[in-house]
């Protein structure tokens, strides 16, 4: 009896759906949509492929679930920010922080960079409206800043690309940054390492310097 109980205690627990999505997020970030394998994800989650397909779906459905979970959380926070933060500059800073928050910001950034490089070939259609709501939250903030006489008129989508691009690239290029820093001359003022929240705020400040009305 004791031996049986011991074997049961050593058996890894099957992953919950949220844990499966965490595992899948890491797999898609590391290997891309094409390279990620359902059997490996199932093995890491301690479920068989049939169970994975039953609980989540095929690879397309799993990828969509991964992205929708991330984007839905970000959209919710952004829309809460619009309702609770009045100052337009603070909104931009909060917007930047939301881009790099969450449980797996580096993995999310890696997935999005892969999608950008591949022309969005694997990007699920159902995710696009969520992305549009993110752009809409930034557009609303920029337009309010213009009405208040604090921002000059700018293209909201280009500002969105600049902010998201910089935050996403910083979140993903840590290994390259560290190699560059290691080769910098002694006494160099080159500073490559910041926390993700600090980097997001620095990027927001640069952007604000560009959109403020002089």
Q: What is the SS3 assignment for the chain?
A: CHHHHHHHHHCCCCCCHHHHHHHHHHHHHHHHHHHCCHHHHHHHCCCCHHHHHHHCCCHHHHHHHHHHHHHHHHHHHHHHHHHHCCCHHHHHHHHHHHHCCCCCHHHHHHHHHHHHHCCCCCCCHHHHHHHHHHHHHHHHHHHHHHHCCCECCCCHHHHHHHHHHHHHHHHHCHHHHHHHHHHCCCCCCCCCCCCHHHHHHHHHHHHHHHHECC
pLDDT digits (tens, 9 = 90+) for 27-62: 999 999 999 999 999 999 998 899 899 999 999 999
Is pLDDT at 73 greater than 70 in this prediction? yes
Q: What is the pLDDT of residues 16-36, one digit of tens each?
A: 889 999 999 999 999 999 999
CATH number of 2-211: 1.10.357.10
What pLDDT is attached to residue 129? 95
């Amino acid at each position: 009896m004791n031996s049986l109980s011991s074997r049961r205690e050593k058996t890894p627990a099957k992953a919950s759906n949220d844990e499966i999505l965490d595992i899948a997020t890491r797999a898609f970030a590391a290997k891309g949509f094409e390279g990620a394998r359902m059997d490996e994800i199932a093995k890491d989650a301690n479920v068989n492929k049939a169970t994975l397909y039953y609980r989540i779906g095929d690879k397309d459905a799993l990828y969509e679930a991964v992205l929708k979970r991330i984007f839905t959380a970000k959209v919710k926070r952004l829309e809460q920010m619009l309702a609770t933060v009045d100052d337009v500059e603070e909104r931009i800073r909060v917007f930047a922080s939301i881009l790099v928050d969450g449980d797996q910001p580096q993995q999310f950034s890696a997935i999005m960079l892969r999608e950008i490089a591949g022309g969005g070939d694997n990007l699920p259609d159902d995710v696009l409206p969520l992305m549009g709501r993110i752009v809409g939250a930034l557009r609303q903030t920029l337009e309010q800043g213009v009405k208040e006489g604090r921002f000059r008129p700018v293209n909201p989508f280009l500002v969105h690309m600049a902010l998201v691009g910089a935050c996403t690239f910083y979140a993903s290029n840590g290994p390259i940054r560290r190699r560059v820093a290691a080769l910098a001359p002694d006494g160099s003022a080159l500073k490559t390492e910041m926390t993700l929240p600090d980097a997001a705020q620095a990027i927001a400040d640069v952007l604000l310097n560009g959109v403020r009305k002089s």
